[in-house]
Chain A
Amino acid sequence: MIYADHAATTKISHAAKEEMMRVMEESWGNPSSLHTPGQLAKEVLEEARRKIAACLNAAPSEIYFTSGGSEADNQALRSAAYWGAKKGKRHLVSTAIEHHAILHTLDQLKEEGFEVTLVGVDQNGVVSVEDICRAIRPDTALVSVMYANNEIGTIQPIAEIGRCCREHGVLFHTDAVQAAAHLAIDVERDAVDLLSLSGHKFYGPRGVGVLYARRGVPLRPLIAGGAQERSKRAGTENLPAIAGMAVALEDAAAKMPQETKRLAALRDKLEAGLSKLPHTRINGGKAPRLSGTLNVCFEGIEGESLLLLLDDRGIAASSGSACTSGSLDPSHVLLALGLPHEVAHGSLRLSLGAETTEEDVDIMLQEIPKVVSYLRSISPVWEELESGARPHLI
């Protein structure tokens, strides 16, 4: 099987798995307990916190463990909104291409009386620093811009946006879930106040994540209860997952320089091959992108059937078609690029990672064109496109 869906989840690394087993075996105590087993567990917890802080150029006391990226995003937005509202700031700025963990939280906050400005992106999937700066108002409580996009991999100008927010005295959050292990994140250089990570995107376990909150940036707990995580996130810590995630992030950071080069070369080969198919568009291709991500639209076909047939041929990928998004509309990210609905339905995301080999890329380059051409051969839309009854859009 060729796994080309690393942006959805990565297979846990051997080292992370071993660390989880070790923690379950040796450090099974409750880190809040004062006895020896409890304190041994507490040491593991704090060691994980130090490792993760070091990877982000943060202080350990600025790291909070959550159940994942979505919880971190929810808590970042809700905290900034809550404290902002206390000072009469009820305006939030974000972008049209954020993850649903951001967009749906913003929808909820809108219902609660906040005003939201969603800044659009250019056709390459990058937000402009000027547009973000212009959207900031005296009553803006928070700016939230993702580090890199999950669907098309485009990298956003985070450091510039961070500086602009700092100048305006506005809090800045970035959802860095897709960026970790691909880009060197530095909360100082990037002037970030709040940042979200998710363990399973960088070969750690699922169900665990990180919220970084700069010293002095007050968090508000989403889950009330005990005094864990400096009283900002109640509930006994998922210690095996936290320790596994820390090992995974450290490993990924160490391998990053060589691994990103390797992945970019594989991705470029894949892109060059698929670009040869007629009426095909590479999404985000002209922008700086995560090294392993390729998003492509094939005109005249629909993404879900493409995925299912690729799966039959042993290729696991994903799509932004309506059928796979669980709604009537195709991916909001592809629509934000200005792609027409009918083109966005035919999207395919291939995200490469640690196990991807050149042979995998060669097989994908053999199989994907076959499946695309079969689906085009049975598509009345393709027939009309080819006969001229319907104009080609890409």
Chain B
Amino acid sequence: MLYSEKVMDHFRNPRNLGKMEHPDGVGEVGNAKCGDIMKIYLKITDGVIEDVKFNTFGCGSAIASSSMATEMIKGKPIEEALTLTNRAVAEALDGLPPQKLHCSVLAEEAVKAAIDDYYQKQESQEKELADKPIEKV
């Protein structure tokens, strides 16, 4: 078989599959021309990833890698999620064929892009608050 049982399990029964209404952070990486796009949505409360969802256009290992990555960061503090590596994703899947390792790289990048987006949203919200003129009592 091309893929491990773990990859096939995550491909056939993806965890955290779907979209999210009003996410706190969204990351989309990849390129349709190259045949892979991953989109990860985060719900973050008090610095912890409370919920995560994903949608993926891509091959079996792309879908499995995004599923595994979401499982690995769900319920974790942001700082811990930021330490997720492509290698850890590939290892958790009991390995990927060499030509498919880029799928685990995309999964790591998608998680980081979603967290980046969350930070940017936070910053702009804080800026909005700071810029708001203080109403005189």
Contacts and interface: CB of A to CB of B under 8 A. Distances in A.
A380 B59 contact: no
Contacts of A322: 34-35
Most buried by A among B8, B32, B39, B99: B32
B9 to A, nearest CB: 12
Interface stretch (A149-157, A280-288, A300-308): A300-308
Interface string B3-32: 000001001101001110000000010001
Q: How large is the interface on A (under 10, 10 to 19, 20 to 34, 35 or more residues)?
A: 20 to 34
B33 A342 contact: yes
A305 B12 contact: no
A380 B31 CA distance: 11
Most buried by B among A309, A326, A378, A382: A378
Interface stretch (B50-58, B68-76, B84-92, B114-122): B50-58
B59 A301 contact: no
B35 A302 contact: yes
B37 A380 contact: yes
Contacts of B39: 380
B63 interface: yes
B60 interface: yes
A130 B86 CA distance: 52
A379 interface: yes
A308 B59 CA distance: 9
Contacts of A390: 32
B59 A379 contact: no
Nearest to A382: B57
A308 B14 contact: no
Interface residues of B, number: 26
B58 to A, nearest CB: 5
Interface string A313-328: 0000000011100101
Contact of A312 (B12, B18, B35): B12
A379 B63 CA distance: 10
Contacts of A341: 32-35
Given A308-B11, A312-B12, A380-B39, A302 B34 contact: no
Contact of A380 (B8, B11, B55, B60): B55
A321 B59 contact: yes
B56 A304 contact: no
A381 interface: yes
Contacts of A309: 12
30 contacts: A302-B36, A302-B62, A304-B60, A305-B59, A305-B60, A305-B62, A308-B11, A312-B12, A321-B35, A322-B34, A323-B35, A323-B100, A341-B32, A341-B34, A342-B35, A345-B35, A378-B14, A378-B18, A378-B55, A378-B56, A379-B37, A379-B56, A380-B37, A380-B38, A380-B39, A380-B55, A380-B57, A381-B57, A383-B55, A390-B32
Given A341-B32, A378-B14, 9 more contacts: A300-B57, A302-B62, A304-B60, A309-B12, A323-B60, A341-B35, A380-B55, A381-B57, A390-B32
Interface of B: 8, 11-12, 14, 17-19, 28, 32-39, 55-60, 62-63, 99-100
